[in-house]
């Protein structure tokens, strides 16, 4: 039961995160929005370092499994799962 609750909570968090980052509500996290995530995580509101920019690009490629250049909700979930952030 506990595990199930935890999973539901994780799904809720992932949904909230996705909505938060999909700022234009397109249902996809576009490259521009994706970079905003990395800025929020690593730059303290400024610009990203080259290393973090590279990391953001690598992770986008990893998350974007169908290669259309943007991250769908399912791709986002799979990406979080691969990182161990989503059970």
Residues near Ca ion, by CB under 5 A: 64, 66, 68
Reference 60, options 83, 76, 44; nearest CA is 76
CB of 24 to Ca ion, least distance (A): 16
CB of 69 to Ca ion, least distance (A): 7
Residue nearer to Ca ion on the CB measure, 43 or 59: 59
> What separation in angstroms does the CA of 86 have from each of 32, 45, 56, 68?
23, 26, 19, 23
- Containing H/E element for 9? helix 2-21
CB of 52 to Ca ion, least distance (A): 21
Reference 31, options 69, 80, 85; nearest CA is 69
Residue nearer to Ca ion on the CB measure, 24 or 66: 66
Residue nearer to Ca ion on the CB measure, 52 or 62: 62
């Amino acid at each position: 039961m506990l595990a199930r609750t935890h999973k539901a909570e994780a799904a809720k968090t992932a949904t909230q995160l996705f909505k938060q980052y999909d700022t234009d509500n397109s249902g996809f996290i576009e490259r521009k929005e994706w970079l905003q995530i990395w800025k929020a995580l690593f730059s303290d509101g400024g610009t990203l370092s080259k290393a973090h920019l590279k990391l953001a690009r690598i992770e986008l490629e990893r998350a974007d499994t169908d290669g259309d250049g943007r991250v769908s909700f399912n791709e986002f979930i799979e990406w979080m799962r691969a990182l161990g952030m989503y059970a």
